[in-house]
Amino acid sequence: MSTVTRTGRSIWRNPRARTEAMMAYLFLSPYLIVTLIFTIGVILFAIYISFNHFDLYTWPPKWAGLDNYIKALNPSGKFIRSLVNVLWYVVIVVPTQTALALALATLINVKVKGSQLFRTLFYAPSVTSSVVITMIFWWLYLKTGYLNFGLSKLWAVFGGNWLPVEWLNNPRGLIQLFVTAFGGNIPSNLWYLRGPSVTWMAIMFQNIFTTAPTFMIMFLAALQEVSPSLYEAASIDGANKWQQFWKITLPMLRPVLLLVIVLGTIGTWQIFDQVKILTAGGPLDTTLVPVYLIYSEALGTNGPPTMGYASAMAFVLAAVIFFFTFVQRRFIERGTEQY
């Protein structure tokens, strides 16, 4: 500590060192000022607003204490409903897109003719605007869209008759469909047991289709860093391809696997644009997500703006994301240092 203090004092006593330090801070000042005002300042203001009733037009805000947080955590409120919806989304999308990305990376890592073309084709959806991709899937999911058209033709080959599905307006849950098929029923007051709706599953498929290629590139870059000598030694010892994957490939990919899962989790908790364009939270709030609800409450798209309530929901969501990220790092990151 004393060495650091003496060094700092010597810099300001030395004219040349002092000039260099001032020039360095001068070059950094635009970034520091922008960060201070538009990041740290906005966060501090949002924390203050979350304890107030604030409608964007009336100043000063009216102190509310913990009312906004209590409202957000109300079990029967929309915010809890949105958290349950997006939890289904995280549980299904993150493992699926991670497994698919790893499988695709493993397949195209083989050096065969045309592999570069396949990499480009697989990665193309990821470089396309999410709004454009969402509109394409909107056309696919229409009752008179290409998906129902293709399924009707497929069913006709086997002599069946496909009834068009309203993919973007079907609130029936996945678990509810299975229970109903066996003569059971899940009452509406137990909505959280019905599972993700058909509409929500359709949006999940779109997200998996567009996000998995990005993670595929990450896995592919990591796979190319694995030494071939490890596989040669394993083959000499009699290990088959499946054993090599579990004992060599997967352990060597643990750092990248952690990154992919964490990024995927954060991205799924923050889903917004697909819901905004396709469903606006419907049908029957089965695709309502926290970020869209925060956006709606803050800007008052469905009523008067409630910026304080929106800020409280934003910080609760941030705490949830932090918790999941922390748990993932505790379970996955352990032991990655050796790689």
pTM here is 0.85
For 192-250, list the strands marked E by DSSP: none
Model confidence over 64-82: pLDDT tens digits?
989 999 999 998 889 999 9
For the cut 50, the answer to whether the pLDDT of residue 2 exceeds it is no
In the chain, what are the domain boundaries? 2-50, 75-338
For the cut 70, the answer to whether the pLDDT of residue 312 exceeds it is yes
197, 228 in Cβ contact below 8 A?
no
pLDDT of residue 4: 46
For the cut 60, the answer to whether the pLDDT of residue 226 exceeds it is yes
Percentage above 90 pLDDT, the chain: 35
CATH 1.10.3720.10 fits 75-338, yes or no: yes
pLDDT of residue 335: 54
- Whole-angstrom Cα distance, residue 139 to residue 137? 5
Percentage above 70 pLDDT, the chain: 93
pLDDT of residue 1: 45
Residues whose CB is less than 8 angstroms from the CB of residue 162 and which lie 6 or more positions away in sequence, other chains included? 148, 151, 152, 154, 155, 156
313, 325 in Cβ contact below 8 A?
no
